[in-house]
Amino acid sequence: MKQGTRLKGVVGLIAVVAVAVVGLLFFRPGAAPTGAAIAPSAASQSKGQPSGAAHANPSALPEIKASQLPREAQETLALIAKGGPYPYSRDGINFGNFEGRLPKESSGYYSEYTVATPGEADRGARRIIVGKATEKYYTDDHYNSFKFIVEGS
């Protein structure tokens, strides 16, 4: 094999590996891309619930009306409803539910969004977690506890 042919093969291999790494970093199966709106699942559509419709609480978690959330959380809900743009680069990433406090679902089911915390220099501890069926949960203590958000109230 000639040196030039071998070099082309190595360069091609590096390109393939680079594309695979970028794919793994940015295109996670089952997770909504950053800035993407969360589409309702087939299950919620089959129940006749349009996107953004109120959901029954699928968990044993306490409930909070959307109108009772802090102003910043209501602003985050509005951004989620319109699909962004989001102020934090990590908004829309997969939430793994490693703590197991939300209903068990397959990997990639939940996405997380930052709720700004006044006085915090970073993202703070407040988040809204959205399931693929568009159910939403609020945490103000960085995943230690959650409340199911009752929308339309």
Question: One of 63, 75, 142, 151 is an active-site residue; which one?
Answer: 142
Choice between 52 and 97, residue whose per-residue pLDDT is larger: 97
Residue 142 CB contacts under 8 Å (≥ 6 apart), including other chains = 125, 126, 127
Question: One of 112, 120, 135, 151 is an active-site residue; which one?
Answer: 112
28-54 average pLDDT score:
38
In a shared domain, residues 45 and 95: yes
pLDDT tens column, 86-141 = 999 999 999 999 999 999 999 999 999 999 999 888 899 999 999 999 999 999 99
Query: Which uninterrupted H or E stretch holds 114?
Result: strand 110-114
**Tokens at 76, concatenated:** 């985050």
Asked if 55 is an active-site residue, the reply is no
Q: What is the pTM of this model?
A: 0.65
Residue 45 CB contacts under 8 Å (≥ 6 apart), including other chains = none
Are the CB atoms for 110 and 121 separated by under 8 Å? no
In a shared domain, residues 95 and 22: no
In a shared domain, residues 6 and 52: no
In a shared domain, residues 58 and 124: yes
Choice between 67 and 35, residue whose per-residue pLDDT is larger: 67
Q: Is a pLDDT exceeding 50 seen at residue 33?
A: no
Q: Is a pLDDT exceeding 90 seen at residue 152?
A: no
Computed over every residue of the chain, the mean pLDDT equals: 77
Residue 58's pLDDT band, with cuts at 50, 70 and 90, is confident
What CATH number corresponds to the domain at position 63?
3.10.450.30
Residue 9: give the domain boundaries. Answer: 1-30
Asked if 99 is an active-site residue, the reply is no
Choice between 105 and 32, residue whose per-residue pLDDT is larger: 105
In a shared domain, residues 107 and 126: yes
Alpha carbon distance 144, 56 (integer Å): 22
In a shared domain, residues 19 and 42: no
In a shared domain, residues 114 and 41: yes
In a shared domain, residues 9 and 41: no
Task: State the total domains in the chain.
Answer: 2
Choice between 98 and 27, residue whose per-residue pLDDT is larger: 98
